[in-house]
């Protein structure tokens, strides 16, 4: 049976149109967990939700004894913490790739709180067997958050279920810190005010009250629209409905970064208008992605398509995502004549792009698929297994078609 593919060609002239964006699954997933603790099931979900969010909403209503998070790292970690502290019993598992992604720091923290958890397979990795919960008297919980801020967030989110006096410690710091900040802001709205001093997190105030569910357009998803605009002819403009700089999402920094490529970001009543008045590019694209790892594939590929060299740091978490993201980029960008290679803890990009003469792989990774769509500005490109975008941006290919891209689909699963 032929595997699915998309044949993508960029429009000849300037871009001019609107590109609807998915909701932020980072915000939505946190809110779903907080609402679940209030016994509020979200039945009225908007259409075209990211796959991860749809799955989490369903799993929060599921009674077990097996919860399958699929490919969703956020889904697995948040769900595990909630089920464990709620005292549910059963197995939390995921896809083959999910079972290769470490979860030890979260399990260690939950065990300190009083959860009985054992590994069903390789120690430190899913699947997990939950066997009940009896909260301890309080004390210190050490959470290694260097690989993922989601370990910390998962513990913070279940704060409303705890009664003991707990202090959290994050020795070694926190990667993707803006996501932890998002969690703190939501918890404060729910009445739980955590104070941070160095690597010590202390619950300062607890006056629980209901939180409202709200949907916000996703800034990480907007990175692909920005990148396409940065490769389009001068005079191009795109409207991104519902997108605002509200301070909720760390990837809002994207608007500042993309100014280097001549893009203006203009707030409108119902979204954001982005305009490329003139063609320009920075001499170098150097970036530290420690706080914004989900922007790495978009930015590095954009720099490659513009022939902009760069040195990139803060990429240590990308090896344990849906795929080893930098290794996957290295293979795929080489097909376009670009050299991406590691130097110690950094990655360096050099070379000038040319059309891809073989198909681009997606490596089971939604962000790889969308980053590879940028190659279409060098000539038609065939992208394998394009349906992986459903994880975070289900309408992505339709959105490009609406902007004038030629989108030909073929094959089947």
Q: Quick one: DSSP state of residue 383? A: E
Helices (H), 350-408: 366-372, 396-402
Measured CA to CA, the distance from residue 392 to residue 407 in angstroms comes to: 19
Q: Please check whether residue 329 is in contact with residue 368, taking contact to mean a CB–CB distance below 8 angstroms.
A: yes
Distances (CA, A) of 306 to 10, 87, 120, 206: 15, 53, 47, 51
> What tokens appear for 165 in the block?
């006096």
Distances (CA, A) of 197 to 22, 109, 194, 202, 370: 35, 19, 10, 8, 38
Antiparallel, parallel or unpaired: β 16-18 and 236-241:
parallel
Q: In DSSP terms, which residues pair with 118 in a beta bridge?
A: 129
86: exposed, middle or buried (Cβ count in 10 Å: 0-12, 13-18, 19+): middle
Q: What is the Cα 12 distance to its own chain's centre?
A: 31
Q: What is the Cα 169 distance to its own chain's centre?
A: 24
Q: Please check whether residue 229 is in contact with residue 34, taking contact to mean a CB–CB distance below 8 angstroms.
A: no
Look up 387 and say whether it is catalytic.
no
Contacts of 212 (CB under 8 A, 6+ apart): none
Contacts of 53 (CB under 8 A, 6+ apart): 23, 25, 28, 29, 32, 45
Measured CA to CA, the distance from residue 161 to residue 110 in angstroms comes to: 13
Hey, how many other C-beta atoms are within 10 angstroms of the C-beta on 64? 13
What's the full length of the chain, in residues? Answer: 413
Measured CA to CA, the distance from residue 329 to residue 66 in angstroms comes to: 35
Q: In DSSP terms, which residues pair with 167 in a beta bridge?
A: 140, 202
Antiparallel, parallel or unpaired: β 271-276 and 165-169:
unpaired
Q: Exactly one of 52, 68, 251, 294 is catalytic; which is it? A: 294
Active site residues: 294
């Amino acid at each position: 049976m032929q595997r699915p593919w998309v044949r993508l060609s960029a429009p000849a002239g300037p871009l001019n149109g609107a590109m609807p964006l998915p909701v932020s699954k980072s915000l939505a997933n946190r809110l779903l967990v907080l609402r679940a603790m209030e016994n509020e099931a979200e039945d009225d979900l908007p259409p075209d939700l990211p796959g991860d969010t749809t799955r989490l909403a369903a799993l929060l209503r599921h009674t077990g004894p097996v919860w399958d998070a699929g490919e969703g790292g956020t889904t697995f970690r948040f769900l595990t913490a909630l089920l464990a502290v709620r005292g549910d019993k059963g197995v939390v598992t995921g896809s083959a790739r999910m079972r290769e992604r470490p979860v030890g720091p979260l399990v260690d923290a939950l065990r300190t709180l009083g959860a009985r958890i054992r590994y069903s397979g390789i120690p430190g990795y899913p699947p997990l067997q939950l066997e009940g919960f009896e909260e301890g008297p309080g004390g210190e919980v050490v959470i290694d958050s260097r690989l993922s801020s989601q370990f910390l967030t998962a513990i913070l989110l279940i704060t409303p279920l705890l009664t003991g006096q707990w202090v959290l410690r994050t020795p070694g710091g926190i990667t993707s810190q803006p996501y932890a900040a998002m969690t703190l802001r939501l918890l404060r709205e729910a009445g739980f005010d955590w104070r941070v001093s160095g690597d010590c997190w202390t619950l300062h105030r607890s006056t629980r009250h209901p939180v409202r569910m709200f949907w916000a357009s996703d800034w990480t998803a907007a990175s692909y629209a920005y990148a396409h605009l940065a490769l389009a002819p001068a005079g191009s403009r795109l409207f991104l409905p519902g997108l605002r700089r509200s301070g909720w999402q760390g990837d809002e920094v994207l608007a500042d970064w993309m100014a280097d490529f001549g893009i203006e970001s203009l707030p409108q009543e119902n979204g954001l208008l982005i305009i490329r008045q003139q063609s320009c590019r920075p001499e170098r694209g150097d970036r530290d992605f420690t706080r914004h790892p989900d922007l790495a594939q978009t930015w590095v590929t954009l720099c490659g398509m513009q022939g902009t060299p760069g040195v990139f740091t803060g990429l240590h978490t990308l090896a344990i995502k849906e795929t080893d993201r930098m290794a996957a980029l290295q293979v795929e960008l080489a097909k376009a004549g670009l050299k991406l290679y590691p130097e110690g803890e950094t990655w360096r990009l050099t070379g000038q792009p040319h059309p891809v003469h073989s198909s681009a792989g997606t490596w089971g990774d939604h962000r790889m698929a969308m980053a590879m769509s940028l190659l279409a500005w060098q000539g038609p490109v065939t992208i394998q297994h394009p349906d992986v975008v459903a994880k975070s941006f289900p309408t992505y290919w339709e959105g490009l078609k609406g902007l004038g891209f030629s989108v030909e689909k073929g094959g089947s699963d």
